Structures are given as C-alpha cells and as structure tokens.
Structure 1
C-alpha cells in the first residue's frame, strides 16, 4: 500500500468539512484535517485574485486518488478545485498501517494497481 496525502482547498470551513467527512465515510480516506484561515493569491481569468480559503489534508492510498478526486469534484463548489496528491516517502509504520486498514474495503473495490505484489512487500510503504 502506497500512502498519499491529498491537499485540497475549499471556499469555506463548511465545504471543507462536508468534503472531508464524505471522503472518510465512503472510505476514500482514512482521515481529513481542516486548516482554516488561509489567504490565497492566484491568477484567474487574467487577473491576480486574493481570497480566503480552507485547506484539507487528507490521508489515503495511491489507488484511491482518482476516485477521491472525482468525488471531491462532485462535492466542490469550484469549477476547478485544487486537488493535489503528494506521495508519502515514509513515516510512523503504525500510522501508515492504520491508513491502509481504514481504506482497505474501498481499495478492494478498485483495480489491482493499488494492491501489493510480491516485490512491493519489502522496503518503505
């Protein structure tokens, strides 16, 4: 199991909470943390914009990035939501095992791309 962190931004804390709770309830993620009070500067439609955002940090597995992204897009109010997957290179093995366990039933519904093969069972998850 290759763990992944999804970084997502939302317009409001309520939108972030709805997305985070849904991902965890549907086992697309093991955990979602909400970080409020973010000021964002970005270029949109030819002009630099400034706005308030709420960020989510979501712990999942690589095989669930695509379905999680599609679910986020369906729940998100933006036409182009920020959803970025960041690979996890290591960490507390017990915590990484917990991510695997909490997303296992959903991952078993996915294709074989996220399942460990014999060569994947050694080294860092």
Structure 2
C-alpha cells in the first residue's frame, strides 16, 4: 500500500431524501467510508427520458480513502434506487493529518464492522 492508496477522497452523491441517510449509514457500517453527511433540502433540475425534471433530493458528502473508493462506488450503485446515480469523487487539495489518519483507520477493511 502506498501513500497514494491512502489519500483521502470525497464522494458526492445525490439521493431521494427518504433513502439518503440509510445509504450513508450503511457505507459507514461497512467501513467503505469514514464519514457520511446528509445535507437535506437540495432541489435538482435535470433531463430524464426527454423531459426536464424538478425533484427534491438530499446530498450525501462522504469521505473514504483512494483504496476504498472503487468498492464504495460499487456498493453505492448496488444500493442506490436510481438507475443512473450521481456518484462523483473529488481529490481534496488539503486534508488535516489527524483527520486523514482517522479516516484511514475507520476505512480499514480489517476493522470490526459491528458497533
């Protein structure tokens, strides 16, 4: 494992308000992400099947490591109710050393998954 594998990644996902918390909680419990924040009250406009949609959504902001990113994204695709979920990852410019160390520990696949 390299430092690059353990770099922090931020996942940005939108979901229906009634399922966003469950998605975040599940990924935290499975140690795919270290933290999940649910930001309710988003309003999304987008094209879908030939028409412009206007829907209420929640935003999920989650942190993971580069080595866990693909697994987290795959699990989100499995659990997400949308056929084409928005799953976007960012590479932050700065992450505090203490927070990065904590995120690495909490996303370690060898860590216990029951609390």
TM-score, scaled to structure 2: 0.86
Q: How many residues align?
A: 106
Q: Which stretches in structure 2 are left out of the alignment for 5+ residues?
A: 1-5
In the TM superposition, structure 1's runs of 4+ consecutive aligned residues that sit over 3 Å from their partners are: none
* Partner in structure 1 of residue 9 of structure 2: 4
Higher helix share: 1
TM-score, scaled to structure 1: 0.79
1:67-104 CA-partner distances (Å, limit 9, x unpaired): 11111111111100111011122121111111111112
Instruction: Report the RMSD for the aligned CA atoms in angstroms.
Output: 1.4
Q: Which stretches in structure 1 are left out of the alignment for 5+ residues?
A: 108-125
1:10-42 CA-partner distances (Å, limit 9, x unpaired): 112x31111101101110000000000000011
The alpha carbon displacement at 1:106 in A equals 5.5
- CA pair 97-75 structure 1, distance change in 2 beyond 3 A: same
* Partner in structure 2 of residue 118 of structure 1: none
Instruction: Specify which of 83, 91, 98 is matched with residue 94 of structure 1.
Output: 98
